[in-house]
């Protein structure tokens, strides 16, 4: 059984930083691309970032480019999202998900391409 557990969310002032973590078990972690998504109340789930199985390629939604960094440690079955210069519009529940294959590709932001999801971690940014 696949388990995906996010942590690291919290309440932070605008301009601050947070580091999200996601531990995955029940699958061969380094066989799969991994993604971060977020969902604000009343909004659709949005793809934030994706990283290929080996970390060689990464993708970001335009609104976080230059501020967020995705990384992974395959030895620890762990995915990370370093978030800097946070803005109130980054406020959302953040989810970690395992993709159907090892590469993000052009479909990386499509939630249906990720069959395994965590419960999410809340990020709230106040001004």
Q: What are phi and psi of 36, to 5 degrees?
A: -115, 135
Tens-digit pLDDT profile for residues 11-70? 999 999 999 999 999 999 999 999 999 999 999 999 999 999 999 999 999 999 999 999
Contact 102, 121 (CB under 8 A): no
For residue 34, the model assigns a pLDDT of 98
For residue 20, the model assigns a pLDDT of 98
DSSP secondary structure of 60-101: E-GGGTTTEEEEEEGGGTEEEEEE-S--GGG-EEEEEEE-SS
For the residues 2-6, what does the mean pLDDT come to? Answer: 97
Percent of the chain with pLDDT over 90: 98
For residue 96, the model assigns a pLDDT of 97
C-alpha closest to that of 34 among 116, 127, 119 = 116
Record the tokens describing residue 94, joined without a space: 């953040």
- H/E stretch holding 83 reads strand 78-83
């Amino acid at each position: 059984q696949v388990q995906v557990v996010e942590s690291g969310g919290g309440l932070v002032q605008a301009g601050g930083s947070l580091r999200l973590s996601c531990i995955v078990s029940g699958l061969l972690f380094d066989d799969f691309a991994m993604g971060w998504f977020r969902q604000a109340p009343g909004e659709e789930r949005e793809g934030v970032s994706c990283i290929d199985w080996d970390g060689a390629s990464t993708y970001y939604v335009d609104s976080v480019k230059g501020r967020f960094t995705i990384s992974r440690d395959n030895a620890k079955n762990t995915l990370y999202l370093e978030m800097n210069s946070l803005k109130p519009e980054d406020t959302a529940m953040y989810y970690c998900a395992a993709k159907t294959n090892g590469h993000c590709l052009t479909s990386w932001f499509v939630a249906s391409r990720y069959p395994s999801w965590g419960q999410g971690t809340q990020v709230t940014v106040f001004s």
